[in-house]
Amino acid sequence: MVNRIFKIIIIVLLFFCLINGLHAQTFNLQSLPSNKSKFNIRFLKPYFASDFESSTMSGVYELSFNIPISTEMNLISTIPYSSYNLEANFGLWKYKFKEHGFGNIFIGAQTNPEIIDNKNSIYSFGLFLPTAEEDVGNWSAFANYYEFHQFIPNSLTLYFNYAYHNINKNGFRYGFEIGPNILIPTKDDNAETEIYAHYGISSGYQANKLLLNLELIGIAIILEDIDNFDDRFIHLLNFGAAWTENIITPKIFYKIYLKEDFNDFVDGVLGIEISISTN
């Protein structure tokens, strides 16, 4: 599986080299603001263990945007849609699963401060609205567990994020982000509010228009009673590449779960994204 992904990355990069500054790009971390409007279309496809087969286009589709509304503030939003056709084969028994529908739509705001000495500190905040359809939460979270609250029906999530990025002109870059996710039930009176923390670090290098990037991201359970401390944390490693044109930036990346309970079930997640920036 990993060898196949590397082949896909190489083919895509060679293609864009044939058709063809410093650009601020992320893969799974919160998008970075600019003075231009940016629109992103992303497809996330999880590859499940050998007992499960899914159609080629099964996965999560996301439409997001980051639009300046003043010199110091941007509007940010994400609309997720889940589409799965899976078949589980357990020898004598075969089961088919279908899952189609919208997740919790995110809308928020992001500061757009002046970049000083290649350094930038950014604050983001917003709401994941309770728009998820009842049957989209079973498989969709595996595609993007860093934002699993996108697919929890009957829930409102408060999102806060602080990010720091250092993008040097010599091509090297690094950064991190951290913040709480407060998940509030909207239907079940007996359900309790849950608090999680998301966090991630990134490093990368850009040569001309080719950006190579590595991100380590994680989710921590804060409030729930859990016997084993290690079970409070779920980590993923995300590596990928982007071809940073001025208007259209294609990205391809691959995520793997570092927690055994997850990587026994999901081999990895392939991500393909197109970012469009207006003049």
Taking only the tens place, the pLDDT of each residue in 221-258 is 998 777 777 889 999 999 999 998 778 999 999 999 99
Distance between CA 150 and CA 170 in Å, rounded? 37
Q: Number of C-alpha atoms within 13 angstroms, CB side, residue 47? A: 14
Stretch among 37-41, 83-87, 159-163 having the lowest mean pLDDT? 83-87
pLDDT at position 279: 63
- Position 98 confidence tier, pLDDT thresholds 50, 70, 90: confident
Residue pointed to by tokens 């994680």: 218
Distance between CA 133 and CA 127 in Å, rounded? 17
Pairing of strands 119-128, 38-48: unpaired
16 CA to centre of own chain: 23
Stretch among 17-26, 42-51, 92-101 having the lowest mean pLDDT? 17-26
- Position 5 confidence tier, pLDDT thresholds 50, 70, 90: very low
The three-state secondary structure class of 253 is strand
Domains of the chain, earliest start first: 2-277 (2.40.160.40)
Q: Read off the pLDDT of each residue in 55-68 and give the average, rounded to a whole number.
A: 92
Q: Read off the pLDDT of each residue in 64-85 and give the average, rounded to a whole number.
A: 93
Taking only the tens place, the pLDDT of each residue in 102-147 is 999 999 999 998 877 778 899 999 999 999 988 777 788 889 999 9
Distance between CA 109 and CA 75 in Å, rounded? 5
Stretch among 44-58, 211-225, 238-252 having the lowest mean pLDDT? 44-58
Phi, psi of 14 (to 5 degrees): -65, -35
Q: Is the pTM of this model over 0.95?
A: no
